[in-house]
């Protein structure tokens, strides 16, 4: 159930596969950004060494109309 004055934001994750988020009730896009950065940190901790060179991790933060507000990228690369 959505809180008074809240909007729905979604946090879609792409790593080995894409995981579509189907809920996210927050007061505004600033709260969505904060939640995205906290959540990204927690998810990256849980990757537990499985991020490999040449393959990235991505979180797309979208609003109710699926417009992208923010994109967070992590990419592992070997130096040349």
pLDDT in tens, 62-75: 998 989 999 999 88
* pTM, entire model: 0.79
Cα 42 to Cα 31: distance, rounded to the nearest angstrom: 17
pLDDT in tens, 34-50: 999 998 998 888 877 77
């Amino acid at each position: 159930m959505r809180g008074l004055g809240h909007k729905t934001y979604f946090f879609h994750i792409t790593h080995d596969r894409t995981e579509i988020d189907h809920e996210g009730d927050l007061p505004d896009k600033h709260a969505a950004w904060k939640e995205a950065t906290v959540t990204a940190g927690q998810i990256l901790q849980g990757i537990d060494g499985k991020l490999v060179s040449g393959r990235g991790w991505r979180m797309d933060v979208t609003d109710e109309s699926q417009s992208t507000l923010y994109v967070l990228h992590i990419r592992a690369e070997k130096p040349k």
